[in-house]
A and B are shown apart, each in its own frame.
Chain A
Amino acid sequence: MINRIPSMKLAERVREGHLRAIARLITRVESGGDPDVRQALAELYKSTGNAHVVGITGVPGAGKSTLVTQLVHEYRKSGRTVGVVAIDPSSPFSGGAILGDRIRMGDLVSDPGVFIRSMATRGTLGGLARPALDAVDLLDAGGFDVVLIETVGVGQDEVDIVRAAHTTVVVNAPGLGDDIQAIKAGVLEIADVHVVSKADRPDSNRTIQELKAMLMMSLEPGEGIWRVPVVPTSSEKHTGFGELMAAIDRHAEHLERSGEITERRRQIALTRVVKVAEEIVRDNFVRDSRSQTEELLKKVTQRELDPHGAAVTLLKAMKETIHESH
């Protein structure tokens, strides 16, 4: 048996930027909630709000991990520290996960100005679990200038990230879709910055042009409106990553100047609160499963009660017994 350091003690070290303390608290946050973990998070939350949070998304194989690696190098060159939360899918069957981003980020690991943490989705919708957002807080409180969230890249409707990041970067790879893809809603519309990766490939120009054409269509006239840039990058030729960092910085400035940052912050706060509320509700469903839930489920399967009615009944009952242990 080992000595368990109290979470509040770890929180103090997180504030000093102690990497091991950050790492351990993320683990505790991920494995659910002892009350002392929640207390530590609440305390540390007061020290957050300084990092610029960047979400990186895009279809699988678009080159997100490679791009993140290169982008971290750029930030380091500019003298900024970077925390990375890299999210990979959990197996829907075992709940386990293989977290592979380490393979590409290996060369950054021994730099004390960089912290990389892999996390599994644990089956959350939208791919962004509550612990991942808590991890962002911990890195923020730990003093990292920039926090990058790399999402799983599940498809065209992964819009969760927009509600959790200040700047959303969508990575597009050439040759993945014809031009009709470019007018589809969803993942293409959530970008604050578009990247076309693998720009050394000859067909990348077409993707760049299509994206630009699509963005032109949605352009409103007027001053002070953010014009979503399309940044070509190539990790083969090491080009475009400085431009990408500059584009993200410009977006951060735009948010401040236009006052849009207030709305983003509100949106992020809303996402956070809703995620925790969902989790509390879900846990209470599981916790009560032996008694009332089972009875209601039986009624639903036998068509005596509809799912909506059962849910409302359960929520009403839950109001009395809500557990706060998160």
Chain B
Amino acid sequence: MQNNDNNAAVIRVMLAKIGLDGHDRGIKVVARALRDAGMDVVYTGLHRTPEEVVDAAIQEDVDILGISLLSGAHMHIFPKVLELLKQKEAEDMIVAGGGVIPDDDVKELYQMGVHKILLQDTPPQEIIDSFRQLVADRGAR
């Protein structure tokens, strides 16, 4: 039998790479760690547009949309994603970011409405714990 019994909702996560960013080693490690923690992980593959990712996240109805960015385009992409989620009445989706992001930008991203930023040296267990916490704080949906 599985660790998940039928009545415990499995946390669903979409991990996305947006734009011209070809670095996917990190996101794959995170995907594997989350899976091993019992979560369902949908990986989008490389070079997606914000529209594609938001539409896919809505159809997959994920709890958390995690976007990995190592291209420096975070201040462009996060506002776009948040705006699209709002347009599509999906503001209840938790948005998390990861990658290489300067401290000042991190502050600004939180103000914008990104729920969690996990920088490049975050241990996998911390990512797992914070995702679980974010979903628990949000409550049943």
Residues A102 and B45 in contact, CB atoms below 8 Å apart = yes
Q: Which residues of B contact A98 (CB under 8 A)?
A: 31-32, 35, 41, 43
B window 24-43: CB within 8 A of A = 31-32, 34-43
A window 264-286: CB within 8 A of B = 279, 283, 286
Give bound CA distance, A90 to B2, whole Å.
9
B88 at the interface (CB under 8 A from A): yes
Partner of B12, one of A20, A27, A103: A27
Residues A118 and B60 in contact, CB atoms below 8 Å apart = yes
Partner of A99, one of B6, B37, B38, B40: B40
A130: nearest chain-B partner, CB-CB: B6
Give bound CA distance, A131 to B83, whole Å.
32
B126 at the interface (CB under 8 A from A): no
Smallest beta-carbon distance B37→chain A, Å: 6
A129: nearest chain-B partner, CB-CB: B6
Give bound CA distance, A120 to B10, whole Å.
10
Given A94-B36, A109-B55, A286-B5, CB of A99 within 8 Å of CB of B61: no
Residues B9 and A116 in contact, CB atoms below 8 Å apart = no
Residues B139 and A122 in contact, CB atoms below 8 Å apart = no
Q: Which residues of A contact B139 (CB under 8 A)?
A: 1-2, 4
Given A31-B7, A102-B56, CB of A97 within 8 Å of CB of B141: no
B59 at the interface (CB under 8 A from A): yes
Tell which of A107, A109, A118 has the most Cβ of chain B within 10 Å.
Answer: A109
Number of interface residues of B (CB under 8 A): 43
Residues B52 and A23 in contact, CB atoms below 8 Å apart = no
B47: nearest chain-A partner, CB-CB: A106
Complex interface bits, A18-57 against B, C-beta within 8 A gives 1, otherwise 0: 0110011011001111000000000000000000000000
Smallest beta-carbon distance A273→chain B, Å: 18
Q: Which residues of A contact B86 (CB under 8 A)?
A: none
Partner of B40, one of A1, A93, A96: A96
A117 at the interface (CB under 8 A from B): yes
A61 at the interface (CB under 8 A from B): no
Give bound CA distance, A91 to B31, whole Å.
13
Give bound CA distance, A133 to B38, whole Å.
22
Residues B92 and A95 in contact, CB atoms below 8 Å apart = no
Apart from A96-B38, A103-B44, what are 15 other A-B pairs with CB-CB below 8 Å?
Answer: A4-B139, A23-B58, A24-B141, A90-B2, A94-B3, A94-B36, A96-B10, A96-B36, A98-B32, A100-B42, A103-B45, A110-B55, A116-B56, A117-B59, A117-B60
Q: Could you pull out 7 A-B pairs where Cβ atoms are within 8 angstroms?
A: A20-B61, A94-B38, A99-B60, A106-B52, A109-B59, A115-B59, A123-B2
